[in-house]
Amino acid sequence: MKILISTGIYPPDIGGPAQYARNLYETWKGQGHEVRVAAYRWERAFPTFLRHILFFLKIFRKGWNADLILVLDTWSAAVPTMYACKIMRKKYIIRTGGDYLWESYVERTGELVLFKDFYASSLDKLSRKEKIVYKLGGDALRNAALIIYSTQWQKEIFEKVYGLDPKKSNIVENFCGVREEQIEPENRVFVAGTRDLVWKNIETLKRSFKIAREEVVTKGLGEIEFDTTKAVYDNFQERMRRSYAVILTSLGDISPNMIFDAIRVGTPFILTEETGIDNRVRDCAIFVNPMDENDIKNKIVWMSDPVNRKAQAEKIRKFNWIHTWDDISREIISLHAKL
């Protein structure tokens, strides 16, 4: 097949869609498909909307002979791809990741609104640009031949808010790779996400961690450290592997790659309860309410006890679900074949 992957970001960019695009590209190439990628590069130097027009031209140029066009977001790549496909009279598939509209709103306002509550509480407070994103992003979803979600949680929210046809919806879960050998932690560092975004709830986590650190020392459990420094993907994976624990307290993380990577390398984790993978990882997760600093503090203190940490590591060792890029790529191809 001739496949075009339309994505807002691609390595060396950091982020879930970038890794998703790169791994699908390499997997499909390895399966013998002819694969091209359209990603924002030099277009970013131009203002909003003009850069979208330039990306539209890129899709038109790269996708005119494509058998399958897969879009990896719901705005920056999806809207230009929608218009290009209308002209080319081609179908396209959207694979949702996060939610650009909600993330943008939270970054602009600083309002700590949970993803699950956003559409019910905040649509009347959108800026002019956000209203356009809501309208055109919804159009891109409604005009897609197929929408692929990674979780039932996001699927149900989007179908209701955007009036989507459930018959077009399918779920292809996220990547969870073959397990690496577990190692004993080389430190007592809790590794958090590397992107300093409001919806990642880092400031709340920092406040909770400061109090937890004092309590841990008081209990005689030793010092603990907190790591939010940035790193390229491969280095970050190794840092997680050698850390004491991973912690993610986002206001909404639909299918966090960071947690599946922690499972893959055998590192215990604390995860926001505002996630779409709760049922998948429930047997090996410690959940927290991201709006409750005391809950976050208590879970950090609990995990700081080596006995508890060892028990969680054993649960992760027994977690045997694997979902490879080969699985994901074939599932997408199979869904496309039914169109």
pLDDT in tens, 92-110: 999 998 899 999 999 999 9
- Summarize the confidence of residues 119-127 as an average pLDDT: 96
Say how many residues make up the chain: 339
* pLDDT for 304 beyond 70: yes
Q: What is the pLDDT of residues 184-241, one digit of tens each?
A: 898 899 999 767 889 999 999 999 999 999 999 999 998 999 988 766 666 778 888 9
Asked if the 189-318 domain carries CATH number 3.40.50.300, the reply is: no
The pLDDT of residue 133 is: 96
pLDDT band at residue 166 using 50, 70 and 90 as cut-offs: very high
* pLDDT for 20 beyond 70: yes
Q: What is the pLDDT of residues 68-97, one digit of tens each?
A: 999 999 999 999 999 999 999 999 999 998
List the strands of the sheet with 269-272, edge to edge: 225-227, 189-191, 245-248, 269-272, 286-288
* pLDDT for 13 beyond 90: no
C-alpha distances (whole Å) from 321 to each of 191, 268, 274 are: 23, 16, 21
Beta bridge partners of 287: 271
The pLDDT of residue 334 is: 97
Tokens coding 102:
């909600």
Q: Which CATH class is domain 2-175+323-337?
A: alpha beta
State the Cα–Cα distance between residues 256 and 47, nearest whole angstrom: 30
Measure the CA angle with vertex 299, ends 321 and 303; round to 5°. 70
Sign of CA dihedral 91, 92, 93, 94: negative
The pLDDT of residue 201 is: 94
State the Cα–Cα distance between residues 145 and 94, nearest whole angstrom: 8
**Per-chain mean pLDDT for the chain:** 94
Residues with Cβ within 8 Å of 213's Cβ and at least 6 positions away in sequence, in order, are: 223, 224, 226
The pLDDT of residue 16 is: 81
The whole-angstrom distance between residue 290's C-alpha and the CA centroid of its chain comes to 17
Q: What is the pLDDT of residues 31-75, one digit of tens each?
A: 999 999 999 999 989 988 899 999 999 999 999 999 999 999 999
Are 2-175+323-337 and 189-318 the same fold in CATH?
A: yes
C-alpha distances (whole Å) from 210 to each of 170, 225, 237, 249 are: 42, 9, 25, 15
Domain definitions of the chain by residue range: 2-175+323-337, 189-318
69, containing H or E segment: strand 68-71
Kindly write down the DSSP assignment for every residue of 259-277, as one continuous string. Answer: HHHHHHHT--EEEESSBTT
Please indicate whether residue 229 or residue 9 has the higher confidence score (pLDDT). Answer: 9
* pLDDT for 279 beyond 80: yes
Residues with Cβ within 8 Å of 112's Cβ and at least 6 positions away in sequence, in order, are: 106, 198, 201, 204, 251, 291
